[in-house]
Amino acid sequence: MNEPLTAVKESRIESKLQGLPKKVLLGWYDEMLLSRRFEEKCAQLYQMGQIGGFCHLYNGQEAVSTGAIHAINHDDYVITAYRDHVQAISKGVDPKPIMAELLQKYTGTTKGKGGSMHIFDRDKNFLGGHAIVGSHIPIAAGVAFAAKYRNERKVCLCFMGDGATNIGTFHEALNLASLWKLPVIYIIENNLYGMGTAVERASAVEDLTKKALAYDMRSAVIGGHDVLEVYRTIKSAVDHARETYEPSLIEVRTYRYRGHSQSDPVHGHYRTKEEVEEERKKDPILIFAGVLKSANLIDDDYIESAEKKVKKIVTECVQFAENSPEPPLDELYKDVYYDSGR
Ligand SMILES: Cc1ncc(C[n+]2csc(CCOP(=O)(O)OP(=O)(O)O)c2C)c(N)n1
Ligand SMILES: [Mg+2]
């Protein structure tokens, strides 16, 4: 006899949740919501002239950061490009010093001298925040090399954009990571554009995992709107890397809701309003809320209270940043250049 439909639906949800405890799942939901509201506040502060320099926001991509970073241990390494605030939050960096950094304050993660593109926290093994496209990809291989050399059994997650896969350093790093069996997981956040250039106008192959074939590297392509799918895939790559030291390349298909940076328009001439609206229907936070509701883990009251909780955190971040001092003038050159003493 066929199982009743409700039972099938329930068992599907059970397997989707992968046995993860309710506390963990709700923590991920709260984190994704905090990420969204944090970035929205950044957009406001940028418009008010309180944030200077470049500022790239992560709205729409939250499931990638939360799903991937919760697939590693606290002492594993994360390295990324300039769209970095949310990944720092997922890695456990206190959002207050992140906001202070954005407002160029001395209490910021790099004492107010790095800004939005250079969030860094050594204690949390969050190794940046790198503004030059592709520059951090070989560094990730180096970090993984060091972890293996020291027998730490740690892995390195390296996030990059689709555009970064066209840069020479990407290919050099993948070659060495594969040749030397380095425990690094390269995650391409394919949000379909590098600034205003669509993937198919910049890359000879649209399936970016094909780039792993040249280096005999394991690879997979997944959707980036489902935090649970991201978690499952990255966890499997992480377990494999810890076991065998072998690297992986995972392409995650995602979408950015805002302009490339805060000085760019939302659509520009490279994408239509309709496209953005269509993509927004696949909002990863709403999708996750739907899954948690179907599993009877949250209801509308929970969502409302989470909103309040997150709003309070963001307000406290801004207060902390606004009340913090600017870096003192006599420290202008301190920590900027490394003095080898030679
Ligand atoms: C070497 C280098 N070339 C050009 C730039 C200017 N630039 C900044 S971001 C960007 C696009 C990168 O796109 P992608 O890797 O897809 O990341 P996304 O912004 O979509 O997250 C470019 C060309 C740069 N920062 N570094
Ligand atoms: Mg991109």
What's the pLDDT tens digit per position in 36-75? 999 999 999 999 999 999 999 999 999 999 999 999 999 9
Protein residue with its CA nearest to atom 20 in ligand 1: 194
**How many Å lie between the centroid of ligand 1 and the Cα of residue 83?**
10
Q: Taken in order 317, 111, 64, 27, is the CA torsion positive or negative?
A: negative
Residue 337 has what pLDDT? 80
Domain boundaries, the chain: 5-325
Q: Are 72 and 25 in contact (CB under 8 A)?
A: no
Q: Where are the beta strands (DSSP E) in the chain?
A: 77-79, 156-161, 184-190, 193-194, 197-198, 218-223, 248-253
What's the pLDDT tens digit per position in 12-43? 888 899 999 999 999 999 999 999 999 999 99
What's the pLDDT tens digit per position in 193-252? 999 999 999 999 999 999 999 999 999 999 999 999 999 999 999 999 999 999 999 999
Protein residue with its CA nearest to atom 17 in ligand 1: 161
What's the pLDDT tens digit per position in 290-305? 999 999 999 999 999 9
Residue 8 has what pLDDT? 67
Q: Are 54 and 116 in contact (CB under 8 A)?
A: yes
Third-level CATH fold of 5-325: Rossmann fold (3.40.50)
> 């769209």: which residue's tokens?
83
What's the pLDDT tens digit per position in 319-335? 999 999 999 999 988 88
| 134: three-class secondary structure by DSSP | coil
Q: Where are the beta strands (DSSP E) in 184-283?
A: 184-190, 193-194, 197-198, 218-223, 248-253
pLDDT confidence band for 5 (50 / 70 / 90)? low
The Cα-based distances of 13 to 96, 128, 214 in angstroms read 36, 36, 38
* Per-residue buried b or exposed e for 183-209, using 16+ beta carbons within 10 Å of the residue's own CB: bbbbbbbbbbbbeebebeeebeeeebb
Residue 83 has what pLDDT? 98
What's the pLDDT tens digit per position in 120-174? 999 999 999 999 999 999 999 999 999 999 999 999 999 999 999 999 999 999 9
Cα–Cα distance for residue pair 44/311, rounded to 1 Å = 14
**How many Å lie between the centroid of ligand 2 and the Cα of residue 283?**
17
What atom in ligand 1 is closest to the CA of residue 132? 26
Residue 9 has what pLDDT? 73
Residue 1 has what pLDDT? 55
User: How many helices, marked H, and strands, marked E, lie in the chain?
Assistant: 13, 7
Protein residue with its CA nearest to atom 18 in ligand 1: 161
Ligand lying nearest the CA atom of residue 83: 1
The Cα-based distances of 209 to 82, 168, 254, 259, 316 in angstroms read 22, 16, 15, 26, 41
Q: Are 261 and 39 in contact (CB under 8 A)?
A: no
Residue 147 has what pLDDT? 98
**How many Å lie between the centroid of ligand 2 and the Cα of residue 215?**
22
Q: Which long-range contacts (CB under 8 A, 24 or more apart) does 270-278 make?
A: 270/193, 270/196, 270/197, 270/198, 271/192, 271/193, 271/198
Helix (H) or strand (E) holding 62: helix 62-69
Protein residue with its CA nearest to atom 5 in ligand 1: 133
**How many Å lie between the centroid of ligand 2 and the Cα of residue 163?**
5
What atom in ligand 1 is closest to the CA of residue 167? 1
What's the pLDDT tens digit per position in 170-188? 999 999 999 999 999 999 9
What atom in ligand 1 is closest to the CA of residue 133? 26
Residue 192 reports pLDDT greater than 80: yes
| 289: three-class secondary structure by DSSP | helix
Cα–Cα distance for residue pair 174/214, rounded to 1 Å = 9
**How many Å lie between the centroid of ligand 2 and the Cα of residue 198?**
8
Q: List the structure tokens of 341.
A: 């003493």
Residue 332 has what pLDDT? 85
Angle between helices 5-16 and 284-294 (to 10 degrees): 130
Any residues with Cβ below 6 Å from ligand 1, and which? 83, 131-133, 161-164, 191, 193-195, 260
**How many Å lie between the centroid of ligand 1 and the Cα of residue 167?**
10
Ligand lying nearest the CA atom of residue 261: 1
